[in-house]
Structure 1
Amino acid sequence: MGTHERWTRLLEALGERGRISVGEAAELLEVSAATVRRDLDELARQQLLTRTRGGAVLGGVAYDLPLRYKAGRQADEKLRIAKAAAALVPPGAVVGVNGGTTASEVARELAVRADLATGGSPPALTVVTNAINIANELAVRPYVKTVVTGGVARPNSYELTGPLATMVLQSVSLDCAILGVDAVDPRFGAATHDEGEASANRVMAERAERLIVVADATKLGRRAFAKVCDTTAISVLITDRNATPEAVEQFTAQGVDVHCV
């Protein structure tokens, strides 16, 4: 297990338990106590936890972990989901993409689509995003017109939120929006942990003719704090093959076209 994966699992365990001892962490990660102590010391230096005698407790880190610690979760599934979502975007479309690991993968897949790399005018694709990491990757693609909202950057997701973000989104029209979310439940809809992100994502969804939600199977049937949209507003849900038939059926009953990839 690599360092990045150990740190992610440590932070996840802290998010669930609130505290962890060196012994518990060593057993969880199947590494030595010395390795755990070094990892905890480094995460404390990054102010992601608070060291205690014999372990650590949840400190200033929110339950919504920083993007760099989420990237390794369900990596293969997210890549398949991203490829499927990118394939649904026709050339010349205006597409909104929010932040997060899965949506970022979608943006990368759009950027490398051979049928879009044609150059010329008008651009082969217009991407409207409130994620500064996505804008950074797409800005160097001459065949993609990249539109970035204003707003206040969230360090956990690199998303721009607040009145400046929603003002820009309210003034555009999108052929489709591709949204990554923290949870999507057939009864309660799509949601995120942060109300600022949810507000920007909600406007993006409302301005789109077609809403595509990308979420791996671990997020299905779950609820998060801030609602983005009702389930009935989702045109397509792209998830992975680990989704249970029961979960898929609950979404299709709400009129959602579910793709398990």
Structure 2
Amino acid sequence: MYEYATYEGGTFEDRFKAHGGSKQRIAERAAQLVSDGDSLLLNGGSTMTVFARALRNHKNLTAITNGLTVALELARSQNSTVIVLPGTLEKKKMTTASTDLEAALADVWGQSVFLGVTGINLALGPTMSTPQEAMAYRAFVRAASEVTLLADSTKFEAGSMFGIAPLSKITRIVTDTGIRDVDRKHLDALDIEVITVAADDEAAPGDLDLASEDVMRTAPEV
């Protein structure tokens, strides 16, 4: 039985802080998968904003994103090129949404896609809360050779109706040590690389710093 993620409907700030320690460590570990000069596709949202901040010391990145706060953080990377996809602003996630997104990515190919998701369903794969988001991020998945999900372990217990892609399309998942054995075994059987970091209840309070005042000031409550 899957439960809806309880913080998914909150403000951007609420979602930014939820499971903050795991989110920070997942982002920092995922940033180690990126090399200077890489070309990336990233979606928006709170997890991806923290990930983008973890890329600040990288150089010469080329990134395509629909996340406004993600773009602001990526712009701090030295000599980075940041392309923001057009669309209507979704204030709770600080992302742009457009029915033309698939067409916009039709001629795009990146080395890697990094995605934050609403949930991970062992049958549907990674999921989002709206069909528009799921459709958009399918285009992201088709546009790269590797797909990495950034998701704390609670995302395996939370689900949405709209699948992005089957798990067979996923290269790796960066999560925390709270992942259940049944989920880990299922991913292992599919030959999906699973990278884990300490869960919130294993970390010292000093590890849980999420603050990025510049980003938080750009995210209005709605």
TM superposition score normalised by structure 1: 0.69
Residues 96-115 of structure 1: pairs in structure 2 closer than 5 A: 96-111=41-56, 113=57
Q: Displacement of 1:140 after TM fit?
A: 4.4
Corresponding residue of 1:259: 195
Aligned residue identity for 2:94: Y
Quick one: which of 4, 10, 13 aligns to 1:65?
A: 10
1:87 partnered with 2:32: yes
Q: CA, structure 1 residues 214+140, in 2 after alignment: closer, same or farther (shift >3 Å)?
A: closer
Corresponding residue SS for 2:158:
coil
CA RMSD of aligned residues (A): 1.8
Task: Choose the corresponding residue for 1:171, options 82, 102, 107.
Answer: 107
Tell whether the 8 Å contact from 1:186 to 1:254 is kept in structure 2 after alignment.
no
For 1:63 and 1:94, how far apart are their aligned partners in 2?
Answer: 29
Q: CA contact under 8 A between 1:159 and 1:197: conserved in structure 2?
A: no
Higher Cα Rg, which structure:
1
**1:77, 1:137 → 2: CA distance?**
19
Q: Which deviates more from structure 2 when the two are superposed, residues 247-256 or residues 77-86?
A: 247-256
Match for residue 93 of structure 2? 157
Structure 2 letter corresponding to 1:218: T
Q: State the Cα deviation string for residues 41-78 of structure 1 (Å, max 9, x = none).
A: xxxxxxxxxxxxxxxxxxxxx96323221111110100
Contact 2:61 2:77 in 1 (8 A): no
Deviation at 1:170, TM superposition (A): 2.1
Name the count of aligned residue pairs. 193
Report if the CA contact (8 A) 1:184-1:222 is conserved.
yes
Structure 2: distance between partners of 1:140 and 1:214: 21
Aligned to 1:210: 146
Name which of structure 1's ranges 163-172 and 127-136 shifts more when overlaid on structure 2: 163-172
SS of the residue aligned with 1:89?
coil
- The 5 Å alignment of 1:14-93 reads 64-93=9-38
Letter in 2 for 1:242: G
Q: Which has the higher contact order (CA 8 A, sep 6+)?
A: 2
CA contact (8 A) 2:55 2:74 kept: no
Indicate conservation of the 8 Å contact 2:87/2:97, yes or no: yes
Specify the alignment match of 1:226 in structure 2: 162
- Within 1, Cα distance between the matches of 2:12 and 2:130? 14
Shift of 1:142: 4.2
Identity in percent: 24
Paired amino acid for 1:70: R
CA–CA distance in structure 1, aligned partners of residues 106 and 97 of structure 2: 13
Q: Is the 8 A contact 1:82 1:105 kept in 2?
A: yes
TM-score by length of 2: 0.81
CA pair 231-90 structure 1, distance change in 2 beyond 3 A:
same
Query: C-alpha distance in 2, partners of 1:190/1:221?
Result: 12
Unmatched tracts of structure 1, length 5 or more: 1-14, 17-61, 118-123
Residue 14 of structure 2 aligns to which amino acid in structure 1? Y
Q: In structure 2, the residue corresponding to 1:170 is in which secondary structure?
A: coil
Match of 2:182 among 246, 250, 256: 246
